[in-house]
A = this chain, B = another copy of it.
Amino acid sequence: MSKRKSITIVEVAEAAGVSIATVSNVLNRGGIRSSQETIRKVEIIAEQLGYRRNTMAAGLSRNKTSELGLIVPGLNGYYGQLAEHLQIEAHNSGFHLSVFSSGGSDPDIERRNLEVLLQRRVEGLICHGLAMGFDSTRSIVNSGTPLVLINGWNWPEDIAIGAVNLDFAGACKQSVALLAASGCKAIGYVGSKRSNVIDEQRRIGFIAGIQQYGNGIPHELVDGKGLGVDDFLKSFIQRHSTPVGIVAFDDHVSLPLLTAAQRLGIVIPNQLKIISINNDYIAEHSFPGLTSWDIPYTFQAQTAINKLLIKIGHKSDSNQEPEARDVEVPLTLIQRETT
């Protein structure tokens, strides 16, 4: 345990017999030329003194932080994965990403996180639509900090520089098409209303699918939360001829369906077919294996980070024409035994 006071360039400068300017140059700026001798000398001294640059001082001085902020509703499942990938992408571009969970869309926590991030003078913000309220988000735009939304549909034009949304609607629409094509006599959607806009996108896609490919097929939409899964499944199958198909909100919603099917002796995929979203661990290891839409985390993360960096001016738009403000990221279907 060394002394509380960490060592600064001043001490390095003294020990090396040079000025602090020189130390600063050789240590954190490749651009300035110095004699090989001083370079080595300074580096050695700094090393053995255990010098560690003070981020705050540096940031204050140069008026930039190389820091990005992320606010997500939670850190589990999709959000955790997303955060991890974003962190990697940010790092690859020389930035670092501070991750905050708004604790399941708690508006107070959200505001506080936002405030902390803004006070740190992050150069850009990435927020998940579910984690943000319109009003508190307004304060960002006034701060001049660029914001890109993840899975934020229909946000006011002026509030963010862009959005990177997963094409849940498209996935659900295609799911319906597939189920219909594989002979389902009825198709249901089991959602998750508390994920409001996320659920809404799926419903939109589901209904679009029914209209386009359903051909008058009977269909119904229910919410997974508080659903008596056994009763629902039994009734759904009895009221229609088999096979019936279900589009599920995600793999978490699907697991109870699988479970119920086992219990009721419903044969998958002969009597019941399921397509869900996320393609997480559950999808791969459940019985039967879940057909599920895979999420392109890396691509989504890259896209989001790029949008920010281009805006910041740290990176130039590599494409000829500027990218669309909002981009819809397609998912890819992984077929397993539930279809």
Contacts and interface: CB of A to CB of B under 8 A. Distances in A.
Interface of A: 1-4, 6, 50, 52-57, 59-60, 65, 74-77, 79-81, 83-84, 87-88, 91, 96, 98-101, 103, 109, 112, 115-116, 118-121, 139, 141-144, 252, 255-256, 258-260, 262-263, 281-282, 285-287
Contact of A281 (B2, B109, B252, B260): B252
Contacts of A262: 262, 287
Contact of A96 (B54, B116, B259): B116
A3 to B, nearest CB: 7
A260 B180 CA distance: 30
A169 to B, nearest CB: 25
A206 to B, nearest CB: 22
Contacts of A259: 285-287
Given A75-B81, A256-B285, A56 B103 contact: no
Contacts of A74: 80, 84
Task: Count the copies.
Answer: 2
B143 A2 contact: yes
Contacts of A59: 56
Contact of A52 (B56, B65, B98, B143): B143
Most buried by B among A4, A6, A74: A6
A278 to B, nearest CB: 12
Contacts of A256: 285
Contact of A55 (B1, B109, B119): B119
Contacts of A88: 103
A329 B221 CA distance: 44
B56 A60 contact: yes
Contacts of A60: 54, 56-57, 60
A256 B282 CA distance: 9
A3 B116 CA distance: 20
